[in-house]
Chains A and B, each alone.
Chain A
Amino acid sequence: MDNYINIKVRVWRQAGPKAQGHFETYELNHIFQGASFLEMIDILNEQLIAEHKDPIAFDHDCREGICGMCSMYVNGHPHGPDSAITTCQLHMRKFHDGETITVEPWRSRAFPVIKDLMVDRQAYDKIMQAGGFVSVNTGGVPDANAIAIPKPVADEAMDAASCIGCGACAAACKNGSAMLFVAAKVSQLALLPQGKIEAATRAKNMLAKMDELGFGNCTNTGACAAECPKSVSLANIARLNREYLCAKFKD
């Protein structure tokens, strides 16, 4: 049964990108366990506004786990202690009465803090712009079943495509590597005939961009896949390695 709990929230407060950040602890009473984590933060912010304090800045949008906007490192886990969910899908029933919950922003050199819990994740957009697409001449619409794709391949491509680019992989990685993200974005296209034509250049360009933006080197610890809200598999990283190495040896 969901009850009402009293908690303490220890939040990272940072006034701006260059400012020195610090933790601040807030007491929050009478929080319903059926509330989502972000609703709890909303309640906390209302309390802060009532006290004429600066509310906590945090990213959020769809609040149904599909946009990839929410990005909180809760009690040592990106998107909190539950598995295969985003922060907005996290519920207060995962916490108990009297608990101190520590909330931090993503910490990675490529994701600088903008304010409080908001980080700049444009690095992922830049990686996408480097090759995460299929160049097509949009002529007439092709017949839906003109290109037959085996079910297992389609499934794997869809699983890779479920990546919402939230950045939890790079945030969880001890090496600050974005390999799972890049691997998912390369895989979702490399598996399908439409994407195969540019597969080699895509892998090379997206990886080069990832390295350029200051992400680290993957050491296959698997923390990314374990924390991924969409359970994107580590096997995608092997595919990216394969695509990249093949492309380089062909050169």
Chain B
Amino acid sequence: MWLKDSSIGRKFIMSITGLFLVLFLLFHGSMNICLVIDDLFGTAGYNWICEMLGANWYAIIGTLVLALGVVVHFCYAFYLTIQNRRARGNDRYAIEARQEGVDWASKNMLVLGIIVIGFLCLHFYNMWWKMQFAELTGIHTSMFDPADGSAIVKALFTDGWCGIIYCLLYIVWLVALWFHLSHGIWSALHTLGWSNLIWLKRIKVIGTIFATLTVGLFMVVDVYFLGVNICSMIG
């Protein structure tokens, strides 16, 4: 199978799963913005989305497809890295200078990916466990109603010092994610062949914009609750 046995095939899988995950992140980020809007204007958009997704069969299928995307992206990342290290050989260079125009992120995608996955586990425990999992199984994993996602988020991020620590942890996560995406998006498009002398510069800009937009959506929510939390602690 060429998707496994050829280098471009393997990279094709990385690109497709990566871009798919970026689309999910965009959706997730847009959804999160509702939290801020809800808090400012007293609406209930976030919970409406939570309820709509909840434990519906399409949400479950969606989650499973998403999980498959993450697993494939993750497995291929290790597969590629092992192969690439072997291709490099056992003898390393004594001096390795950095080249101009080569992003730091591009050489550390695996490390950044592992950081992202690590925080993802924390995130699952913080959110998914208390929302979709609780709703699916009917087990009470927290003191909140699993459909009241907004309360779960607020409780986590505005819980005094604990909330501040969580906000800061999530910021670290988002920064790692930004670096990962700043290389990942354009690299994926490049691997799919959507690049030439002119578009090479353009897709790099598109990649940076998308990375900033995606991470920005999450960051706004994080920073907003950090601010709310600090204000309530002071006053």
Contacts and interface: CB of A to CB of B under 8 A. Distances in A.
A220 B183 CA distance: 9
A115 B5 CA distance: 33
Interface in B87-114: 87-89, 91-97, 99-103, 106-107, 109
Contacts of A211: 5-7
A235 interface: yes
B88 A220 contact: no
A238 B88 contact: no
Contacts of A227: 99
Contact of A176 (B89, B186, B187, B196): B89
Main secondary structure of the interface of A (DSSP, over half): mixed
Interface of A: 21, 23, 73, 75-77, 81, 83, 102, 104, 107-110, 113, 156, 172, 174-177, 179, 207-208, 210-211, 214-223, 226-227, 233-235, 237-246, 248
Interface of B: 2, 5-12, 80, 83-84, 86-89, 91-97, 99-103, 106-107, 109, 183, 186-187, 190-197, 199-200
Contacts of B101: 222, 226
A66 to B, nearest CB: 23
Given A220-B106, A221-B107, A21 B91 contact: yes
A237 B7 contact: no
B83 A216 contact: yes
Contacts of A104: 93-95
Contact of A216 (B84, B97, B190): B84
A237 B88 CA distance: 19
B84 A207 contact: no
A72 B10 CA distance: 31
Contacts of B87: 108-110, 175-177, 214-217
Contacts of A226: 99-102
A238 B194 contact: yes
Nearest to A234: B200
Contacts of B94: 23, 102, 104
B88 A109 contact: yes
Given A220-B187, A233-B200, A241-B191, A214 B86 contact: yes
22 contacts: A77-B99, A102-B94, A102-B95, A104-B93, A109-B86, A109-B87, A216-B87, A217-B84, A220-B183, A221-B102, A221-B106, A223-B107, A226-B100, A233-B197, A238-B195, A240-B8, A241-B11, A241-B190, A241-B193, A243-B193, A245-B192, A248-B9
